[in-house]
A and B are shown apart, each in its own frame.
Chain A
Amino acid sequence: MLHRLRARLRSLWRWRRQESDLAQEIQFHLSEEADERVAAGCSPDQARLAARRDFGNVASVRARTRDVWVWPWLQDLGQDVRFACRLLARDRWFTLAAGLPVGFAGAFVVGKVLEGALLRTSPSDPATLASIIALLLGVTLTACVVPARRAAHAGVRAGYSGNAKMNKLLPSLGFIPVRRLSTPVFNERPVLTAIYCVPSTA
């Protein structure tokens, strides 16, 4: 977790360094260009002006170069979001316990704000609140059930173990390790994790 945070900070820091690097890079280009003109017989002031004019719009060059960095940065961000989702999935009860009060408080506050904007219906109307909760629960359950049912249809009964003792015991009981991962699945700390498959009797 701390490691991820450090990586995130590093990426932000890298962005700032890239910005200042680019500014220096452009500055160097301008001074080289001006030096060349001075060597060709221009006055220093003229040379500087001409170098700037030939370079074009510095801000637009910077913006176009910055565009190149955005994609890797977005990929990093995507990884962070996936990581956050995994953490939430692992600690789902904690998430639920923390999310419910926050959600209710939020709904109440937003409801109060929206009250003026809504016509003929109250935002704290029990039926509306209940139906929203039901909808969200439905979405959550679908998100859990669909992958589980898929796995069941594929005829695979599988589980995973991130426990060293179990990793030794399970194969001796006839469970087949399908995939061993040294990368964490639901743990931030990398432990040897293996996905097991129960041998089918057929």
Chain B
Amino acid sequence: MTVDKARIELLQGTLDLLILSTLVFGPSHGHAIARQIRTVSEEVLHVETGSLYPALHRLEAHGWIASDWKLSDKGKRAKYYRLTRSGRTQLVHEQSKWDQLTAAMARVLRPAE
């Protein structure tokens, strides 16, 4: 297994936010969601499958995402997840929580500039 130096471990609770915001662009399956997060973060964030699938199923149980079996562009049956209406509300909520957290972290780490 190759170990990237640039790779950063995902913080607890941030995966849900990442998944929800990835699905804003349209329905997607688990593999594509993980790839999207990896490429958009420029290879910094790698989602482990052991966290990805439990997270997807948990979000679905909350009703924030829903799933359908559809054929992928290569003609294989895949489970596509999409954002629900309450998922969008949750995304806005989580995003503002995240903004608060990063702002607070920045204030503590770089006080009085």
Contacts and interface: CB of A to CB of B under 8 A. Distances in A.
Given A25-B30, A33-B31, A64 B76 contact: no
Given A56-B48, A64-B50, A35 B61 contact: no
Contacts, number: 59
A72 B61 contact: yes
Given A28-B29, A29-B30, A33-B31, A68 B78 contact: no
Most-contacted residue by chain A among B49, B57, B61, B69 (CB, 10 A): B49
Contacts of B31: 28-29, 32-33
Interface in B24-69: 29-32, 48-50, 53-54, 57-58, 61, 69
Given A32-B31, A33-B31, A61 B50 contact: yes
A128 interface: no
Interface string B1-42: 100000000000000000000000000011110000000000
A87 interface: no
Interface residues of B, number: 20
B51 to A, nearest CB: 8
Contacts of A26: 49, 53
A53 B54 CA distance: 19
B110 interface: no
Contacts of A33: 31
A91 interface: no
Contacts of B79: 21, 24-25, 28
B53 A64 contact: yes
Taking residues whose C-beta sits less than 8 angstroms from the other chain, chain A's interface range is 20 to 34
Given A24-B77, A25-B30, A28-B79, A61 B53 contact: yes
B82 to A, nearest CB: 15
A60 interface: yes
B80 to A, nearest CB: 11
Contact of A56 (B30, B49, B76, B77): B49
B30 A65 contact: no
Given A28-B31, A29-B30, A35-B74, A69 B50 contact: no
A178 to B, nearest CB: 33
A60 B57 CA distance: 15
A24 B79 CA distance: 9
Nearest to A22: B53
Contact of B49 (A29, A69, A72): A29
Counting from the closest, the 4 A-B pairs by CB-CB distance are: A32-B31, A68-B57, A65-B53, A64-B54
Interface of B: 1, 29-32, 48-50, 53-54, 57-58, 61, 69, 72, 74, 76-79
